[in-house]
Amino acid sequence: MTVLQEPVQAAIWQALNHYAYRDAVFLAERLYAEVHSEEALFLLATCYYRSGKAYKAYRLLKGHSCTTPQCKYLLAKCCVDLSKLAEGEQILSGGVLNKQKSHDDIVTEFGDSACFTLSLLGHVYCKTDRLAKGSECYQKSLSLNPFLWSPFESLCEIGEKPDPDQTFKLTSLQNFSSCLPNTCTTLVSNHNISHRQPDSVLMETPQDTIELNRLNLESSNSKYPSLNTDSSMSYIDSAVISPDAVPLGSGSAILSKQAQNKPKTGRSLLGGPAALSPLTPSFGILPLETPSPGDGSYLQNYTNSSSVIDVPSTGAPSKKAVTRISQAGTKSVFSQSGNSREVTPILVAQTQSSGPQTSTTPQVLSPTIAAPPNALPRRSSRLFTSDSSTTKENSKKLKMKFPPKIPNRKTKSKTNKGGITQPNINDTLEITKLDSSIISEGKISTVAPQIQAFTLQKAAAEGLMSLLRDMGKGYLALCSYNCKEAINILSHLPSHHYNTGWVLCQIGRAYFELAEYMQAERIFSEVRRIENYRVEGMEIYSTTLWHLQKDVALSVLSKDLTDMDKNSPEAWCAAGNCFSLQREHDIAIKFFQRAIQVDPNYAYAYTLLGHEFVLTEELDKALACFRNAIRVNPRHYNAWYGLGMIYYKQEKFSLAEMHFQKALDINPQSSVLLCHIGVVQHALKKSEKALDTLNKAINIDPKNPLCKFHRASVLFANEKYKSALQELEELKQIVPKESLVYFLIGKVYKKLGQTHLALMNFSWAMDLDPKGANNQIKEAIDKRYLPDDEEPITQEEQINECYPYESVGTDESQESSMTDADDTQLHAVESDEF
Footprint of other proteins on this chain (CB under 8 A)? 515, 517, 543, 546-549, 582-586, 607-608, 611, 614-617, 637-638, 641, 645, 648-649, 663, 670-673, 675-676, 679-680, 704-707, 709-710, 713, 734-735, 737-740, 743, 768-773, 775-777, 779-780, 782-783, 785-787, 789, 832, 834
Which CB atom, from 313 or from 704, has the smaller least distance to other proteins?
704
Compute the distance between CA of residue 385 and CA of residue 378 in angstroms, rounded to an integer: 11
- Nearest-approach distance from CB 743 to other proteins, in angstroms: 7
How far is the C-alpha of 119 from the C-alpha of 306, rounded, in Å? 15
Considering the complex, state which of residue 529 and residue 771 has its C-beta at the smaller distance from other proteins: 771
Question: 591 and 571 in contact (C-beta within 8 Å)?
Answer: no
Q: Cβ 502 to other proteins, closest distance in Å?
A: 23
Nearer to other proteins, 101 or 696 (CB): 696
Contact call for residues 208 and 200 (beta carbons, < 8 A): no
Integer Cα distance of 37 and 46 in angstroms = 14
Nearer to other proteins by C-beta: 130 or 751? 751
Nearer to other proteins, 442 or 770 (CB): 770
Nearer to other proteins, 105 or 791 (CB): 791
Q: Which is nearer to other proteins, 298 or 481 (by Cβ)?
A: 481
Least distance (Å) from other proteins to the CB of residue 591?
15
Smallest gap from Cβ 681 to other proteins, in A, equals 11
Sign of CA dihedral 329, 335, 341, 346: negative
Pick 101 or 547: Cβ nearer other proteins: 547
Give whichever of 475 and 743 is closer to other proteins, judged by the CB atom. Answer: 743
CB of 484 to other proteins, least distance (A): 17
Q: Which is nearer to other proteins, 208 or 612 (CB)?
A: 612
Using the minimum distance from each CB to other proteins, give the nearer residue, 143 or 775.
775
Minimum CB distance to other proteins smaller for 130 or for 547: 547
Phi-psi category of 746—alpha, beta or left, where left has phi over 0 and alpha has psi -120 to 50? alpha
CB of 793 to other proteins, least distance (A): 12
Closer CB to other proteins, 131 or 786, in the complex: 786
CB of 409 to other proteins, least distance (A): 50
State the nearest-atom distance from the C-beta of 535 to other proteins, in Å: 19
Rounded least distance, CB 746 to other proteins, Å: 12
Residue (of 178, 233, 188) closest to 212 by Cα position: 188
The one-letter amino acid code at 114 reads: A
Q: How distant, in Å, are the alpha carbons of 101, 627, 798 from that of 744?
A: 66, 36, 16
User: What is the nearest approach in angstroms of other proteins to the Cβ of residue 33?
Assistant: 55
Compute the residue count for the chain: 834
Cβ closest to other proteins, residue 80 vs residue 609:
609
Shortest distance (Å) from residue 543 CB to other proteins: 5
One DSSP character per residue, 498-549 reads HTSHHHHHHHHHHHHHTT-HHHHHHHHHHHHHH-TT--TTHHHHHHHHHHHT
Q: Which one, 557 or 645, has the nearer CB to other proteins?
A: 645
730: DSSP letter? H
User: Using only C-alpha atoms, what is the Rg of the chain?
Assistant: 34
334/67 Cα distance (integer angstroms): 52
Q: How far apart are CA 659 and CA 656, in angstroms?
A: 5
The string of DSSP letters for 82-134 reads: TT-HHHHHHHHH--SSSPPPPHHHHHHHHGGGHHHHHHHHHHHHHHTT-HHHH
DSSP states along 207-224: HHHHHHHHHHHHHHHTT-
Closest approach of other proteins to the CB of residue 653, in Å? 10
DSSP 247: P
Residue 324 or 783 with smaller CB distance to other proteins: 783
Q: Cα separation of 44 and 40, whole Å?
A: 6
- Please say whether the beta carbons of 319 and 212 come within 8 A: yes
Q: CA-CA distance, 36 to 28, in Å (whole number)?
A: 11
Q: Using alpha carbons, select from 9, 6, 13 the residue that is nearest to residue 359.
A: 13
For 753, half-sphere exposure in the C-beta direction (CA atoms, 13 angstrom radius) is 2
Other beta carbons less than 10 A from residue 684's beta carbon: 14
Report the distance separating Cα 362 and Cα 296, nearest Å. Answer: 10
Question: What Å distances lie between residue 661 and 583, 620, 664, 710, CA to CA?
Answer: 30, 21, 5, 18
Least distance to other proteins, CB of residue 568, Å = 19
For the chain, the distance separating the N- and C-terminal CA atoms, rounded to the nearest angstrom, is: 88
Find the shortest distance in angstroms from Cβ 689 to other proteins. 16
Q: How far apart are CA 700 and CA 463, in angstroms?
A: 36
Distance in Å, CB of 617 to other proteins, minimum: 7
Query: How many whole angstroms separate alpha carbon 230 and alpha carbon 219?
Result: 15
d(CA 636, CA 610): 13
Cβ of residue 691: shortest distance to other proteins, in angstroms? 15
Nearer to other proteins, 94 or 787 (CB): 787
Contact present, 370 and 469 (Cβ < 8 Å):
no
Determine which helix (DSSP H) or strand (DSSP E) holds 257, and give its type and residue range. helix 251-271
Listed residue (409, 280, 386) closest to 16, CA to CA: 280
Query: C-beta of 520: minimal distance to other proteins in Å?
Result: 11
